[in-house]
Structure 1
Amino acid sequence: MDYLWAFIIGGTICLLGQILMDFFKIPVPYIMVTFVTSGVILTALGLYEPIIKLGGAGASVPLPGFGYALAKGVIKEVSEKGFLGAFTGGTVATAGGIAAAVFFGYVMAVIFTPKTKP
Structure 2
Amino acid sequence: MEYVYTFLIGGAICVIGQILMDVTKLTAPRVLVLLVVSGAVLQGLQLYDPLVQLAQSGAKVPLPGFGYTLAKGAMEGAKQGLLEAITGGIKAAAGGITAAIAWGYVVALVFNPKSIR
TM above 0.5, one fold?
yes
Task: Give the C-alpha shift of residue 116 in structure 1.
Answer: 2.1
Task: Give the C-alpha shift of residue 21 in structure 1.
Answer: 1.2
Residue 44 (structure 1) aligned with residue 44 (structure 2): yes
Distance of 1:22 and 1:2 partners within structure 2: 30
Distance of 1:65 and 1:110 partners within structure 2: 28
Deviations 1:11-34 (A, max 9, x none): 100000111111213211001111
Q: TM-score, normalised on structure 2?
A: 0.95
Deviations 1:27-51 (A, max 9, x none): 1100111111000100000100111
Q: Give the RMSD, CA atoms, in angstroms.
A: 1.0
> Percentage identity across aligned positions?
51
Amino acid at match of 2:45: L
Residue 24 (structure 1) aligned with residue 4 (structure 2): no
Amino acid at match of 1:55: A
Residue 53 (structure 1) aligned with residue 53 (structure 2): yes
Moved more, 98-107 or 19-28: 19-28
Amino acid at match of 2:21: M
Partner of 1:91: 90
Query: Which runs of no fewer than 5 residues in structure 2 stay unpaired?
Result: none
Distance of 1:2 and 1:100 partners within structure 2: 26
Three-state SS of the structure 2 residue aligned to 1:117 is: coil
Paired residues in the alignment total 117
Three-state SS of the structure 1 residue aligned to 2:79 is: helix
Task: Give the C-alpha shift of residue 117 in structure 1.
Answer: 2.5
Partner of 1:71: 71
Query: Which runs of no fewer than 5 residues in structure 1 stay unpaired?
Result: none
